[in-house]
């Protein structure tokens, strides 16, 4: 259905939000009140969507997330099916809190463990959860001992922008290969924390300068919206792309192609879980009608 409507033939990665539930309630979380919602993929639905994306759109990688994917009881089966039956590259994006036992179980089928952190020590814990910083680092060490490559993500905000470099150094000491920096979008819980928003975009310029001159061995990937020009809210419709890098399925089955549209309910397509196929539900405010641009990531 996506191909018929948009001309898109290949979608490299499926971001599969298995459930909304999470053991955290971070101040910046884009899910907001949906963290309390019970919607989730069943194991059969998750398997069917991965199979559909692989078969119809040549999807070669899946990133399992939530909510918190390690709270999802069928995580080992999803991971095993993605790797063994479909041959996908399998990544998990987690808060890393007390995951060691389950991580050991899925280690043979996992290609990358990505842990979210918002700064060093107390800064992280104030935004995420008390004890989460140490929890994340011990999960990272455990993954390294199991031979699983690790990375981290950080959502840059007014409280942690000065900790990007210190965190990058800590992460490289713990063996992480990559730190991915995201722009904070004022949706979900972040909409209730305006103090986190960066209003002086010159701060992004200073951050980029620091990253450019820092002697880091860890790869740092930056959301291009972290720029002095600020976020690009809309653009002219791009010429029809045959291939896009990603699509994200939320636990209800709503699909989003642009990171800029995540959390904004701008869905043009849904995965109909009962029917087992993708349907087009256009509206005047969907991401195609609004021409929401994709997020561009680049090396710092």
List residues binding ligand SF4 (CB under 6 A).
22, 24-26, 29, 31, 35, 66-68, 95, 116, 128
CB of 20 to ligand SF4, least distance (A): 8
Q: Based on CB atoms, which residue is closest to ligand SF4, 25 or 279? A: 25
Residue 63: HSE in the Cβ half-sphere, 13 Å Cα cutoff: 21
CB of 94 to ligand SF4, least distance (A): 8
CB of 21 to ligand SF4, least distance (A): 9
Listing DSSP states for 101-135 in one string gives HHHHHHGGG-SEEEEE--SSTHHHHHHS-TTHHHH
Q: Based on CB atoms, which residue is closest to ligand SF4, 68 or 250? A: 68
CB of 24 to ligand SF4, least distance (A): 4
Distance CA 77, CA 62 (A): 14
Q: Based on CB atoms, which residue is closest to ligand SF4, 41 or 57? A: 41
Q: In what order do the strands lie in the sheet with 112-116?
A: 277-280, 269-272, 254-256, 243-249, 10-17, 61-65, 89-94, 112-116, 150-156, 178-183, 219-223, 297-299
CB of 234 to ligand SF4, least distance (A): 26
Q: Based on CB atoms, which residue is closest to ligand SF4, 124 or 178? A: 124
Residue 27's CB is within 10 A of a number of other CB atoms, namely 18
With a CB cutoff of 8 Å and minimum separation 6, the contacts of 97 are 23, 24, 68, 70, 129, 131, 132, 135, 136, 139
Give strand pairing partners of 14.
62, 247
| Contact by Cβ (8 Å): 132, 164 | no
| Contact by Cβ (8 Å): 82, 88 | yes
CB of 65 to ligand SF4, least distance (A): 7
CB of 22 to ligand SF4, least distance (A): 3
Q: Based on CB atoms, which residue is closest to ligand SF4, 54 or 128? A: 128
């Amino acid at each position: 259905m996506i191909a018929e409507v948009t001309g898109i033939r290949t979608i490299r990665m499926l971001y599969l939000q298995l459930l909304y539930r999470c053991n955290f309630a971070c101040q910046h979380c884009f899910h907001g009140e949906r963290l309390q919602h019970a919607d989730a993929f069943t194991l059969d639905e998750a398997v069917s969507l991965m199979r559909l994306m692989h078969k119809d759109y040549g999807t070669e990688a899946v990133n399992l997330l939530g909510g918190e994917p390690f709270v999802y009881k069928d995580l080992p089966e999803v991971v095993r099916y993605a790797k063994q039956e479909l041959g996908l590259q399998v990544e998990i994006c987690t808060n890393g809190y007390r995951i060691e036992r389950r991580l050991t179980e899925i280690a043979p089928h996992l290609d990358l463990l990505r842990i979210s952190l918002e700064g060093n020590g107390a800064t992280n814990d104030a935004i995420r959860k008390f004890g989460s910083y140490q929890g994340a680092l011990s999960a990272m060490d455990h993954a390294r001992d199991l031979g699983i490559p690790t990375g981290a993500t950080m959502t840059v905000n007014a409280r942690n922008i000065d900790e990007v470099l210190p965190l990058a150094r800590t992460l490289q000491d713990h063996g992480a290969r990559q730190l991915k920096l995201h722009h904070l979008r004022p949706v979900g819980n972040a909409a209730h924390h305006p103090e986190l928003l960066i209003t002086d975009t010159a701060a992004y310029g200073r951050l980029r300068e620091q990253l450019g001159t820092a002697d880091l061995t860890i790869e740092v990937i930056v959301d291009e919206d972290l720029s002095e020009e600020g976020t690009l809210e809309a653009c002219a419709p791009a010429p029809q792309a045959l291939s896009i890098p990603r699509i994200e399925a939320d636990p209800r089955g709503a699909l989003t192609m642009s990171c800029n549209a995540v959390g904004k309910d701008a869905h043009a397509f849904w995965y109909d879980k009962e029917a087992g196929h993708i349907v087009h539900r256009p509206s005047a405010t969907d991401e195609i009608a609004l021409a929401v641009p994709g997020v561009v990531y680049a090396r710092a």
